[in-house]
A and B are shown apart, each in its own frame.
Chain A
Amino acid sequence: MANEGKIYRISGPVVTAIGMEASMYDVVRVGDEGLMGEVIELHGEKAVIQVYEDTSGIRPGEPVINTKETLSVALGPGLLTQIYDGIQRPLPTLEAEMGYFIKRGLDADAFDMEKKWTFNPVASAGDAVQGGQVIGEVQETETIVHKIMIPPGVSGTIKSIESGDFNVTENIAVLEDGTEIQMLQKWPVRTPRPYTQKYAPDTPLITGMRILDFLFPLAKGGAAGIPGPFGSGKTVTQQSLAKFSDAQIVVYIGCGERGNEMTEVLDEFPHLIDPNTGKPLMNRTVMIANTSNMPVAAREASVYTGITIAEYFRDMGYDVALMADSTSRWAEAMREISSRLEEMPGEEGYPAYLSSRIAEFYERAGRVNSLGGDDGSVTVIGAVSPPGGDISEPVSQGTLRIVKVFWGLDAGLARQRHFPAINWLNSYSLYPPSLNQWYRDNIAQDFPEIRTEISTLLQIESELQEIVQLVGSDALPVDQQLTLEVARMIREYFLQQNGFHDVDASCEINLVYKMAKAILTFQTAAKAAMAAGAQLEDITGVPSRSTLMRGKFEASYVDDIEEMVATMVKEIEATVEDN
């Protein structure tokens, strides 16, 4: 047996090689063109390979070479601002090398291997170091310091450490036992990077979207699923999160989605300014774009490539947010390969291991104490595209079993142009109990109670609406009509948010609280006025209420809102006297 074998069979992206020594998940080069593939099954002396590129024109008998490495990503300075395909080839390099269309057989470095970075050591000769420990720093982009760590599994005493300008493959340190350390390290994508300890999450990931931050918060290190039928705004929501969430690093995976949509992201992101730092958003972003017509096996790999990069930054002590749009396409890639392998299918043709793969993926999220001793987190937000919008299908169900936050997108709301079209009745988050303390300490003591009041009002509204459907709203008693009015205010003023508006697209958490509070203040004032004899129409018609509601589109709103609320209360009180 040798490292080189021959092709025996080709069936789409699945190739069988014969006469080659192989172990599972070895990366191989297939055919005369050297297409990249991965061993996924062994039968006697036959190795089944999934190939990451188109296999047309490849013949049996062509060579297969085993690299004896597993599918890995390159990690080091130069990752940020990159745009990769599913197997970490930079798309701009592919364009420079082979034009506007993606051809095959090209190997490209993940980032510039020659570029010199200024390495500042933080460890010195004689220090005992172990895997994950930070030994130096590189200012990678204006906003992000890239920490250079000893690769996991390596330890010893530093014999010498350099300072100055180096490229990623030059030695920056040598250990006593002769181990040479470079800035570049590799990590197999299917293996989670190790850490010391996983913590329970206690800090919310602030997203700038009112409905998420207020009603259904996601914790840093948590996992969320966004299922929704087509046209309900999954991609817009994911992009909004990538733009406005308060993560320090964002990894955005466009997995099997539309080319034009990906282009929009690629065009738009470099011009966006990070609200937290005032610098270009790309400085903190790594993008992976594997559109629906790019090779299916590379789509399968893309989510692993993404999450490995996310874990690497987590190990430096950063809060990382990873968006995967859409995990259904990833699952379909698994299904396609599984059916080529003639595996016994589970539900709807998906492989039986679908749910365990989904669970393994989301389990790589978490807030951890890294090997180097820093606290970092990976938050995973996965979009799910259920066929026909029916979430009883296997991918949605597999996701819901593992994630703690469910943001259910609703086609009906999208049709009413209620955006974000997240259904407040069936969405949930299991994080509030662990995050409430943070909200009390950092925003307001009564934050959790306000949240309960608002969600109760929405619940009551949905019950009242059923009656209104039958008898009309005029038939309800006035106090219930007021409840409907308040709920409408919650929906239209508070929950609706224009993702394309300069101001309204992102709402800071303090303002979210103030807006929720303003609605409850309106309710209290209205109740009091009605008890004193005022008419509901007069109360809802006070001009200061519409001023308050329209004010959210003004940049100065956060400063003006309290005064607006006070004016509204006065005008409502005045309706009593008018009567």
Chain B
Amino acid sequence: MAGKEYRTITDVKGPLVFLEKTEPVAFGEIVTLKLSNGTIKNGQVLDTSDDLVVVQVFEGTAKVDRNTGVTFMGDVFKLPVSTDLVGRILDGAGRPRDGGPEIVAEEKADIIGEAINPFSRKSPHDFIQTGISAIDCCTTLVRGQKLPIFSASGLPHNDIALQIARQAKLKDSDEEFIVVFCAMGITAEEYNYFRSDLERTGALENAVLFVNLADDPAVERIITPRLALTAAEYLAFEKDYHVLVIYTDMTNYCDALRQIGAAREEVPGRRGYPGYMYTDLAMLYERAGIIKGKKGSITQFPILTMPGDDITHPIPDLSGYITEGQIVISRELYQQGIYPPINVLPSLSRLMGSCIGAKTTREDHKSVSDQMYAAYAQGRELRGLVAIVGEDALNERDKQLLDFSGVFEDKFLRQGQDEDRSIDDTLDLCWDLMSSISTKYLVRLDQKWIEKYHPDNRA
């Protein structure tokens, strides 16, 4: 129900338009702006009172003037959802981008989304095999988890995300994921790369793409992930799909948030980002999970590039406080020519404990993962010492650990972009590599697993 058209714009500032004297306008209401040249723009109400209404314009305010007609649409932003979404490519505001027809709505869903009642959630515990050893062994992914990739510019995070999207499956199951892909401010080149890879593997038929590119309006990025998650929630909780949401790049999203905050003259928090960024990010990330009595699930893979490789920057920092772990990509490993250059030391999966073990992966998984991690951590530390005192000063144990850290990177981390290792293969590989260290130094391995799995005893 659209109301009448107003021509009462008083101020225009950045992405914001200020209007006077309207009928009562709802907070969050959707707005269309008709420019004098006939162009239509969309926006949303950010602040409303009897005297003044503030509208955030998604497409930017270029060419908006005091004669622009503003119509309030009487409703908050909703996305038409239906299973027809699967296989479609939409733009950052939810309009078809693939030349196909408009989505015929089975229902319209409010894109802000409501919080899942913590009492209604189901704890995630289904192991997802990504086929990437570093992730499966050390930072195991669980269905219903939100696990971001902390990367930086110039690193192959896109390849890793795509490999995960291609290979992710439950162990001993062919059940596939629907991929919801949400691009925020990435380049056309990156987008084409994603699209052609999804096309090549046939995954596009089982995907929904929401695309806001670098030259699309920045403010639109605020709603793009909300659209993607609304679609994901519909597919997961109404239509029983297992959904994998990949969004890239969260850094562009946060910058758009900062842009609006600055235009509203809000008091900024750290590095100019708004004080409510934690809550805002939580409203996205927390839309992952499983609900009791529902079949589907939402697993999230946000990608963010850390400005200046700095993990304490507000974007990775606030994300890390909300997400259930992180996968950290290392420039140092990448420069050594290792793919995937995952630095397992600062990486973490908080839900790992709930999904590994005899029933799901293998009985020795926890032990092996701890030992691999500890041995690699010590080996890496010794590299620093060797640089000072030389390798000769090391004792036998330290020499073995030092050598192991090299093997770890070369044989365990390194794998092909299409190499899909099963969890059993990954764990066997771990045992093979660890056998270069004398068992008396492998203190984190249970004796019973050594007897069962160590290459010397496997016969």
Contacts and interface: CB of A to CB of B under 8 A. Distances in A.
B232 to A, nearest CB: 14
A40 interface: no
A56 B351 CA distance: 33
B275 interface: yes
Contacts of B145: 260
A258 B385 contact: no
Contact of B27 (A58, A289, A390, A472): A58
Contacts of B374: 416-417
B301 to A, nearest CB: 15
Nearest to B46: A11
Interface stretch (B58-66, B208-216, B246-254, B312-320): B312-320
Interface stretch (B113-121, B126-134, B152-160, B172-180): B113-121
B contact residues, range: 35 or more
A95 B117 contact: yes
A500 to B, nearest CB: 7
Contact of B116 (A59, A100, A231): A100
Contact of A102 (B76, B115, B124, B276): B115
Contacts of B120: 91, 95, 99-101
A416 B377 contact: yes
Which of A58, A254, A470 counts the most B-chain CB atoms under 10 A from its CB? A58
Contact of A9 (B50, B321, B354): B50
Given A259-B289, A349-B275, A59 B377 contact: no
Contacts of A291: 115, 118, 282, 286
A263 B122 contact: yes
Contacts of B351: 260
A260 B117 contact: no
A102 B119 CA distance: 10
B286 A57 contact: no
Interface string A486-499: 00000000000000
Contact of A57 (B26, B49, B267, B373): B26
A201 interface: no
Interface in B11-57: 24-29, 46-50
A472 B320 contact: no
B355 interface: no
Contact of B279 (A57, A102, A332, A469): A332
A471 interface: yes
Nearest to A386: B317
Nearest to A472: B393
A134 interface: no
A30 to B, nearest CB: 11
Given A292-B282, A387-B312, A472-B385, A345 B267 contact: yes
B202 interface: no
Contact of A260 (B266, B312, B318, B324): B324
Contacts of A229: 320
A291 B388 CA distance: 48
A348 interface: yes
Contact of B276 (A99, A259, A263, A339): A339
A279 B373 CA distance: 38
Nearest to B294: A100
B312 A59 contact: no
A57 B118 contact: no
A93 to B, nearest CB: 9
Contacts of A61: 24, 50
A178 interface: no
B112 interface: yes
A267 B326 CA distance: 24
B108 to A, nearest CB: 14
Interface in A29-80: 54-62
Contacts of B263: none
Contacts of B24: 59-62
Nearest to A414: B348
A289 B115 CA distance: 12
B270 A260 contact: no
Interface string B97-119: 00000000000001010111111
A539 interface: no
A292 B122 contact: no
Contacts of B288: 260
Interface in A253-300: 254, 256, 258-264, 266-267, 289, 291-294, 296
Nearest to B347: A231
B459 interface: no
Interface in A199-252: 229-231
B325 A231 contact: yes
A389 B313 CA distance: 11
A57 B29 contact: yes
A101 to B, nearest CB: 4
A60 B48 contact: yes
B410 interface: no
B388 A470 contact: yes
Contact of A258 (B75, B237, B322, B393): B322
A292 B278 contact: yes
Contacts of A9: 47-50
A396 interface: no
Interface in B404-429: none
Contacts of A58: 26-27
Quick one: which of A58, A103, A260, A291 has the most chain B CB within 10 A? A260
Given A9-B47, A60-B48, A91-B118, A348 B270 contact: yes
Contacts of A262: 118, 121
B118 A289 contact: yes
Interface in A470-510: 470-472, 474, 500
Nearest to A293: B286
A385 interface: yes
A99 B282 CA distance: 21
Interface in A290-328: 291-294, 296
Nearest 9 CB-CB pairings of A with B: A388-B312, A9-B49, A292-B282, A56-B28, A91-B119, A101-B114, A293-B286, A59-B24, A263-B121
13 contacts: A11-B46, A57-B29, A60-B25, A100-B237, A266-B118, A292-B279, A293-B279, A293-B286, A335-B275, A342-B267, A349-B268, A387-B270, A472-B393
Given A259-B286, A263-B122, 17 more contacts: A55-B28, A59-B24, A83-B118, A91-B120, A101-B117, A102-B116, A230-B317, A256-B282, A263-B121, A291-B115, A292-B322, A296-B279, A332-B276, A332-B279, A339-B274, A415-B345, A472-B389
